[in-house]
Amino acid sequence: MINGKIDLRSDTVTVPTEEMRKAMYEAVVGDDVYGDDQTVNELEALAAEIMGKEAGLFVPSGVMSNQLALFTHVNRGEEVILPDNCHIVAHEAGAAAIIAGAQLRTVQNVGGEMPLDIIEKYIRKDPDDIHQPKTALITYENADSDGQVRSLEYMKNVRELADKYHLPIHLDGARIFNAATVLGVEAKEIAQYADSVSVCLSKGLCAPVGSVLVGSKEFIAVARRKRKIIGGGMRQVGILAAAGKIALNVMSKRLQEDHDNAKYMAEALCGVKGLEVYKERQQINMVFFRLKDYPLSSAELVDYMAKHDVIINGEDNGIMRFATHKYVTREEIDKVVDLMKQV
């Protein structure tokens, strides 16, 4: 429960833990644009180490992290191959066209994955053809907001395909620790198949703000300059980085609890008449369902739940999503399910 309400909209709604608040208060800070903020430097080094990369860059948001990756990997007018429903395409306000000047070539997401043969088909094979844009990057998510986790085998296959055509890969790793938890591996075993990775600190990890972009030293040096270009240079931001360190060191290790609670919720929602629950999509901390023969519409359900101090989002393309996180207990899940049964 957060501020007296059960909030199932997203794992972004989490608030800082008491340990985070204390660390933020006591943080050693400096001017990060000059590279003087000790706490930021520690966070960037920690994220890079966890992901098996050389360097990291702290930025205000996951959108900025992804867009910096594109801005750094891609020249204006070059092409990026990516899933048609991924965050960069659907939830970043067209930023790739505005910031990097990139052309997006989308591939239909089939069962959570871009088919390898379609990726290869979409790669521009002749860089000397003046009529075509140049393929510059492949990017995708692990895990995504549809709750799907890419297998290590799939990621290895995409890496081999990219290497065949000398292309870099950017991984939107907003929920990479959820993916690592599902796969039973360290995050660096996922990150090894990408040249750059965006790591979100506020999705389910309780940090109030921020992501870290990791990659090679050369890549991060260019990204740092481009962060300045788009207004992402921050000053005494170690106050926020202090919470990020705890997100990586502590909160990333408790996600199995959220996954187990989501599974518990999915099972319980199966007992609500009129719902079609997509149990096969429940891999991480998200539950998806459809109001099939339910007596309330999506908008009516949102209003009904709000009157009982439960905050939910409405449907997206006919699908409802509930997300579990640190501040959702099984008792609260039972309350939500009972409310839905009482309609």
* pLDDT digits 0-9 by tens, 301-330: 999 999 999 999 999 989 999 999 999 999
Q: Which one, of 191, 162, 222, lies nearest residue 53 by Cα?
A: 191
Q: Are residues 60 and 148 in the same domain?
A: yes
Q: What is the mean pLDDT of the segment spanning 261-266?
A: 98
Residue 74 belongs to a domain: yes
Q: Are residues 191 and 282 in the same domain?
A: no
**pLDDT range class, residue 284, cuts 50, 70, 90:** very high
Please state, in angstroms and as integers, the Cα–Cα distance from residue 143 to each residue in 43, 96, 112, 336, following that order: 22, 21, 9, 26
Query: Residue 193: which CATH number?
Result: 3.40.640.10
Q: Are residues 189 and 262 in the same domain?
A: no
Cα distance between residue 306 and residue 84, in whole Å: 32
Q: Is the pLDDT of residue 270 over 80?
A: yes
Whole domain around residue 268: which residue ranges? 6-12+253-342
Please state, in angstroms and as integers, the Cα–Cα distance from residue 129 to each residue in 75, 81, 124, 125, 134, following that order: 17, 18, 9, 9, 9
Q: Which of 223, 252, 281 is the last residue of a domain?
A: 252
**pLDDT range class, residue 144, cuts 50, 70, 90:** confident
The angle at the Cα of 138, spanning 132 to 142, to the nearest 5 degrees, equals 155
Q: Which of 213, 234, 252 is the last residue of a domain?
A: 252
Q: Are residues 197 and 277 in the same domain?
A: no
DSSP for 46-68, please give it. Answer: HHHHHHT-SEEEEES-HHHHHHH
| pLDDT of the residue at 145 | 74
Q: Which of 231, 252, 273 is the last residue of a domain?
A: 252
Q: Are residues 185 and 334 in the same domain?
A: no
Q: Are residues 129 and 48 in the same domain?
A: yes
Q: Is the pLDDT of residue 261 over 80?
A: yes
